[in-house]
Structure formats: structure tokens, C-alpha cells
Structure 1
Amino acid sequence: MPTPTPTTPTTPLNRLYVLVLGAFALGLDAYVMAGLLPEVAADLHTGEAAAGQMVTVFTLCYALAAPVFATALAGRPARTVLTAALLLFTAANALTALAGGLAVLLVARALAGVGAGVYSPMAAATAASLAGDKRRGRALALVMGGMSVGTVIGVPVGVLLADHVGWRGTLWLITGLGAVAVAGIVLALPRLEAAPPPPLRERARVLARRPAAAIAGVSLVAGVTSLGLYTYLAPFLTDADARGTDGALGAMWAWGLGGVTGSLLIGRIVDRTGRPYAVVTVVLVLLCLSHLLLPVAARAGWVLAVPLIVWGAAGWALQVPQQHQLIAARPDQAPVAVSLNSSAVYLGSALGSALGGVTLAAGAAPADLPYWTGALVAAGLVLHLVLVRAPRPRTEALTTRPTARTPESATAGE
């Protein structure tokens, strides 16, 4: 995938909303299928367990497509890659809407996952390049905000729409959004010339060097904890005596409200502080505390909304400073580095839902699940503090760093 050349650092942020629309469609598509599962299974005359594999296929193809195609498409202009990815995503959703059997459905969801996996990191890298260094955080937050709004607001709307026009109608809505985003990118997105693609060996090193690998490791842990707990939120509420499943919808809205708020505000925080490493540290602390406080707050009525909002805000906000660090550490390979992070998040999400089920099947009480996920967040915080170090001030680095490039000189930047 190309490395966008920042030739237009003063591009107005409103020119980036075509990328946000595509991200919104991705966020809606990635999560709405779980809510449509019973209707899809009944319509295709198959079991819910079998139909549920459409979510697994999408997630895995998303995770695997990002780094593979980031390397395979190196050297192509950013607008070309974004257009092709969204065209594939849009066509795959149209195929999903037309699917008459499980096999076609799974193929369609796999193709949609590939398109999403190519688009998402490329959109983030392109937005950061167009916005310039001083507005990089806000640009990344716009793209992440599009995904969060698509998930938090778009998913309930999509499920309600399905009640009136069927699940296929919701897929046609996503198809239409994708088509509009494609037109917007072709007509409104400035052209970015791609930097010459580096050798394959150099691209592979991006995945192996400590800063990028460690940052992606933290994102993997965050993905495991967030979806691992969110998937089993209703059983947790029932076991914790928090009005049972009757309170699940309100809890999800509180989590979603926090997610939208966090994803939209985090960009300004990163830009104003100029310290994404420190921001990640604070966000991980808040994420850990919110998980550990959930079992206690669940017994205190409306107080439960506080850790839920903080959890949603911290979980969605985390990836903006993570992407910022990756781009700063490897500006010559920004799309490859960001795609690694996207894959880590989605692999973590897949692992989280699976591990949550395994933990409960092993006899763990649902009410204790936040303690397990809180401990994992704490492990991610340790990983961040030990392996993702904040860089030395530039003046100090210039006076103390040897001329030859050493592995230590490649630590993650702020």
C-alpha cells in the first residue's frame, strides 16, 4: 500500500469527511450483522451458529487483509487504493443483500472484510498525511469517530430499519453509503503521490521492530478486553444483579455514548499535548480502572453508567494516539504500520469474544469477568511502559545518538 506523500499539509479538515463517510459505513457493517443474526438465519434456513460465522469470516479477513495488502499495494496512489477498497466493500455488501444461501453469504462477508481491511488503515494514513503534523490527531480522530458513530448510532438504526424492510434492506443501506463514499473520494479527495515503495525486506522489518510490534501488542490486548467483556455484558449484568438483561440496552447506550465522545475528543487532546505516549498511558489507566469498578458499580443503580462511559470513551480513544505513535515512528511506512495496528485490534476482538466464552465455560462467574479483563488491561499497560518508551527530546537525541542507526534509535515517537 502506498505511503502518502504529505504534499498538501494545509488541506482543510472538512475535505476529509469523504473518508469519514467510508469509515462510518465500515463501522456499521462490522457490527450490525450480529444484531441481524436471528433474521438472517431464519431467512436462509440455517442455524444461528452457522450464520454467526459471517461475523467471524468478516473479522478474520479484515485482520489478515490489512498487512497483506498494505505490502502488496505499495507504490499505488492513495486515492486509487481507497477507491478500489471501497468498491470491493460496496460490491460485497450488495452481494450479501442478494445472498440466497449460506455459502454465498460467507463469501460476500469475506470480501467485505478484505475491502474494509484495506480501506481503514489507508484512510487513517491518508487523513494524517493531508492534515499535517499539527493536526494529525484531529484527522485520525475524524476517521475513528466515523467508525464509532457507525457502530454506536448506525447499528441500532440498522436493526430498527431491518424490522421494517428486512435485513436485506439494511445491507442495501450500507451499499448505498459505500457508493456515495466512493463518489466522494473520486471527486473531492486531493491526489496524493505515493512515495517509492521500499524493499520487501524493509517493509517486513516494520512488523518485527520493537516499537511497531509493541504498540500493536498493546492494541491487541485492548481488543481482547473490550470485545471480550462487551460480548458478555448482558450475562455480567444479570449475574451482578444490575436489573438483569432489562438494563443491558441502557448499559450499551452508555458505553456507546462514551465511545463517540472519546473518539471525537481524543484528537484535540493529542494535538494540544503533543505527547501521544503519555496520552496512551492515561487512557490505559482509565480503561483498567473502569473495568475493575464495574462489578461494584453494577450494584449501585445509575452509578454503573460512570464506568461504562469511561470504558467506552477510553476504549475508542486509545487507537488515535496508538496510530499517531506508529506514524511518527515509521513515517516512511505509515500505511503498513497502521495496518498492523488495525489487524491487532480485530484479531484481539476475535480472541476476546472467544476467550470470554471459554472463561465462562470453565466456571468463572460472569460478574467476575471485568476483573479478568481489568487484569489484562493492566498487563497491556506494563507492556506499554516497558517496551513502548517515550522518545528523548530531539536536542538530547542529536547530541547523544551515534551516527549509525541502532535498534534503540527506532523507538516509538510522540
Structure 2
Amino acid sequence: MRLVYLLGLGAFALGLDAYVTAGLLPAVADDFDASVSATGQMVTAFTLAYAIASPIFATLLPPTRVRSGLLASLGVFALANVGSALATSLPVLLLTRAFAGVGAGLYLALAASAAASLVDADRRGRALAVIMGGMSSGTVLGVPLGVYIAEHTSWRMTLWLVTAIGALTLVGLAARLPALPASSSVTLRQRAQVVTDPRVASVVGVSLLAAIASLGLYTYFAPVMATKAMGSVDGITPYLWAWGIGGVVGSIAIGSLVDRARRPYTLVVAILGILVVALLVFPLAAAVTPLLALIPIAVWGAVGWALQVPQQSDLLAARGDRGGPVAVALNESALYLGSAIGSGLGGLAFALDWDGSVLPLYAAGFAFAALVLQVTAVKAAAKRGTPAPRVAEPTSTSTSS
């Protein structure tokens, strides 16, 4: 598991890099004498590159080169952050953020697959939880630290911190990561067929809808809490911490449950059900007193982050060596796409002068749609599918550069 924790450190750097830039926008805008809206495209460049490029490169990567791909993606991520920290103009910064998104997307997909292959099958859930725990910790713990560093030094120092963590992980993995097992008989066409796999499509669809609900609502946390119906909250820091700490606890604790669950399908159903209830209770609790809303917010964060561990486990079980990393990459793309769709719909709601307090209810509707998809399409696809191929176990004779 030590190597799995090292992979998790890389995921921590990804989580920090993906979300800290939102807190750096004003400083970057001042530095380049640009508008905040123009500077905000650095977030767009990262997320679009992450969502689009990761499944493409995961498909093109030969299955015998997983280790090389893992190291190369982390190297691209680190070098791109060096470029971002040294950027002398906004166009250069946007270009380097796009390359960082490419490296991050491919790394996370390959890291999940590698973590699963480095442990026994009965510890796969815990290994995947380490990766998601690193990602959530980077968001919850790393982002406040990164913003603090930016406020007391410069935004460039925050990106140097991301670079340092990424480089440290790269050196450690290059020195200690063994050859990863792979099936050399898997063709590019077979891996590309992951996109048409009904089971993969249904699982990814669930992730998309859940991301629209959870991450989309998170984007508008401040204006939602500022509405009269939610208590007219000015400072949302305690609520952000409740959501984030819940996310860290949920993403880590879910690993053991995945390993012990006889039917992971029902675990996802339970998670989505709890998410629906938490989002519905959120505005009701806030109407009583904003502090009471801390409870459903923490639950929302916990199950929102926890969901992706059984999702990744299901995708790896469904595809194994026949495109497991590609399936995980598609799932990660769905998360970012769902976040973008949720953010867009939330922005439209505010543009139409809707009261922000209704957004949790609409988010609950998307979460319920994910639940319906889980109990219908995912279940049906699993029944129709062939026995799931197991992720290859590490052996002394495996070869990968």
C-alpha cells in the first residue's frame, strides 16, 4: 500500500491544482492587467483539456506502457505548472493550464488502474479510496493553504508548490514503481470499444448526473447561502469546511465498505439516496437556522466524494485489462463535464432572477435522476454483460517500461 499512498500524493497535487486557481483569479488578473472573466478562462482551459484529452490518450496508450504513461503524464503535469508559474502573459498561462489539464486527466485515470493492480482484489476499494482521498484532501486542505501562500507571497508561489508536490511524486514513482501488469493482446480497437459498452455508458451517466447535482451546486455555494431563505449568510467559510471535511472522510471511509460489500451496486444506490435526502434537507435546515445546515452539507460532501470510489471499482471490474483506464478516464471526464453543466445551469437560474434557495432542490432532482439510472440502466447492463474480467494481479514476470 505504500506505493498506493505515493500515487495518492500525486492525486493531492491534482486536487490542489484543479481548484486553487479559482482563488487565484483576482491576483492573476491584476498581474496581467486583465479582466477576471478573461483570467477565468485558465479554469476553463484546464477542465476542458482534462475532460477531452484524458480518455483519448488513455485509449491510445499501449497497455504495455502503463508505467511509462503514468510517469509521463505526471511529468507533463509538473512541467506545465512550471510554465504556469513562469508565464509572462495570459495566453501563455492559458496554454500551460491546458497542458496541466491533459497531464492531470491521464494521470488520475492511470493512477486508479495502477492502484487497483498493486493490491489484492479484496483491498481494491481501499486502494481506490486512497486516490480519491488524495484528490479530495488536495481540494479541502491544499486549496486554503495555496490561497494563503498566494495572499502572503504571490500566486506564482502557489503553482510552485503544486510543481514541487508533483515532482516529488514523480521522483518517488520513478524510483519505486515496479512494472505494471498489462495484457499485450489488447488492441486499440478493443480499448476504443469501451465507449460503446452499455455498462460503462450507464455508470458514466450516473457520474455525470451526480456531478451536475453535487459539483454544480457547490459552484454557487456563496450566493445560495446569501439568499434570505437560507439565512442571508455572509461568511461561508464554516460551510465550505463542513462540505470539504465531509468529502475527505467520505472518500477515505468508503474504501473499506467497497471491499466488504457483496453487492457494490446497492452501495451506489444507498449513496445516491443519501445524496438526494441531504440536498432536500439542506434548505429546510437552513430555514430553521443556517448553522443547522452544516449537517446536511457535511453529508452532501461525504457522499458526493464517496460515490466515485465504487464507480471506479465497478468500471475496472467491468473492463479490467480490456480498457479499464479508458473507462476511468471517461468517468473523470463526466465529472468535469457535469460540473460545467451544473455551473452553467446555475448561472442561467441566477440570470433569470430565480431565488438561489431553489438550487438545492433542482440539484436533488438531478441526483434522483442518477438514482433512477442506477436502478434501471446500470442494473440491466450488468445483468446483460459477460462475467467481469478481473484486473490483472501483479506478477514477477510482468513487463512494462
TM-score range for the pair, normalised by the shorter chain length: over 0.9
Instruction: Determine which of 302, 313, 333 is the counterpart of 1:343.
Output: 333
Do structure 1's residue 100 and structure 2's residue 88 form an aligned pair? yes
Contact residue 325 and residue 413 of structure 1 kept, 8 A:
no
Contact residue 263 and residue 316 of structure 1 kept, 8 A:
yes
Residue 225 of structure 2 corresponds to 237
Residue 153 of structure 1 corresponds to 141
User: Following TM superposition, by how much is the alpha carbon of 1:201 offset from its aligned partner in structure 2, in angstroms?
Assistant: 3.0
Gaps of 5+ in 1: 1-12, 393-406
Q: Following TM superposition, where does structure 1 have runs of at least 4 consecutive aligned residues deviating by more than 6 angstroms?
A: 411-414
Distance 1:39 1:360, change over 3 A: same
Residue 5 of structure 1 corresponds to none
Residue 376 of structure 1 corresponds to 366
User: Following TM superposition, by how much is the alpha carbon of 1:391 offset from its aligned partner in structure 2, in angstroms?
Assistant: 8.6
User: Following TM superposition, by how much is the alpha carbon of 1:199 offset from its aligned partner in structure 2, in angstroms?
Assistant: 2.7
What is the rounded CA distance, in whole Å, between the counterparts of 2:151 and 2:251 in structure 1?
29
Residue 308 of structure 1 corresponds to 297
What is the rounded CA distance, in whole Å, between the counterparts of 2:131 and 2:103 in structure 1?
16
Q: Which amino acid aligns with 1:184?
A: G
1:30-69 map, 5 Å = 30-69=18-57
Secondary structure at 2:266 match in 1: helix
User: Following TM superposition, by how much is the alpha carbon of 1:247 offset from its aligned partner in structure 2, in angstroms?
Assistant: 3.7
Deviations 1:346-387, CA, capped at 9 Å, x for gaps: 111111111110122123210110111100110111011101
Gaps of 5+ in 2: 391-401
Secondary structure at 1:131 match in 2: coil
User: Following TM superposition, by how much is the alpha carbon of 1:44 offset from its aligned partner in structure 2, in angstroms?
Assistant: 0.9
User: Following TM superposition, by how much is the alpha carbon of 1:198 offset from its aligned partner in structure 2, in angstroms?
Assistant: 2.2
What is the rounded CA distance, in whole Å, between the counterparts of 2:176 and 2:345 in structure 1?
43
Do structure 1's residue 166 and structure 2's residue 142 form an aligned pair? no
What is the rounded CA distance, in whole Å, between the counterparts of 1:271 and 1:75 in structure 2?
26
User: Following TM superposition, by how much is the alpha carbon of 1:411 offset from its aligned partner in structure 2, in angstroms?
Assistant: 8.2
What is the rounded CA distance, in whole Å, between the counterparts of 1:412 and 1:292 in structure 2?
36
Residue 408 of structure 1 corresponds to 384
Q: Which amino acid aligns with 1:318?
A: L
Do structure 1's residue 262 and structure 2's residue 238 form an aligned pair? no
Instruction: Determine which of 268, 280, 283 is the counterpart of 1:292.
Output: 280
User: Following TM superposition, by how much is the alpha carbon of 1:245 offset from its aligned partner in structure 2, in angstroms?
Assistant: 4.2
User: Following TM superposition, by how much is the alpha carbon of 1:14 offset from its aligned partner in structure 2, in angstroms?
Assistant: 1.9
Q: CA RMSD in A?
A: 1.7
Q: Which amino acid aligns with 2:352?
A: A
Q: Which amino acid aligns with 1:356?
A: G
Instruction: Determine which of 180, 196, 199 is the counterpart of 1:208.
Output: 196
User: Following TM superposition, by how much is the alpha carbon of 1:243 offset from its aligned partner in structure 2, in angstroms?
Assistant: 4.7
Residue 362 of structure 1 corresponds to 352
Q: Which amino acid aligns with 1:109?
A: R
Do structure 1's residue 331 and structure 2's residue 307 form an aligned pair? no
Deviations 1:69-113, CA, capped at 9 Å, x for gaps: 011112343221111001100000011011111100100000000
Contact residue 389 and residue 412 of structure 1 kept, 8 A:
no
What is the rounded CA distance, in whole Å, between the counterparts of 1:84 and 1:113 in structure 2?
13
Contact residue 227 and residue 233 of structure 2 kept, 8 A:
no
Do structure 1's residue 81 and structure 2's residue 69 form an aligned pair? yes
What is the rounded CA distance, in whole Å, between the counterparts of 1:78 and 1:200 in structure 2?
14
1:385-400 map, 5 Å = 385-389=375-379
Contact residue 16 and residue 189 of structure 1 kept, 8 A:
no
User: Following TM superposition, by how much is the alpha carbon of 1:390 offset from its aligned partner in structure 2, in angstroms?
Assistant: 7.5
Q: How many residues align?
A: 388
Quote the sequence identity (%).
51
Q: TM-score, normalised by structure 2?
A: 0.93
What is the rounded CA distance, in whole Å, between the counterparts of 2:263 and 2:85 in structure 1?
44
Contact residue 211 and residue 411 of structure 1 kept, 8 A:
no
Distance 1:277 1:308, change over 3 A: same
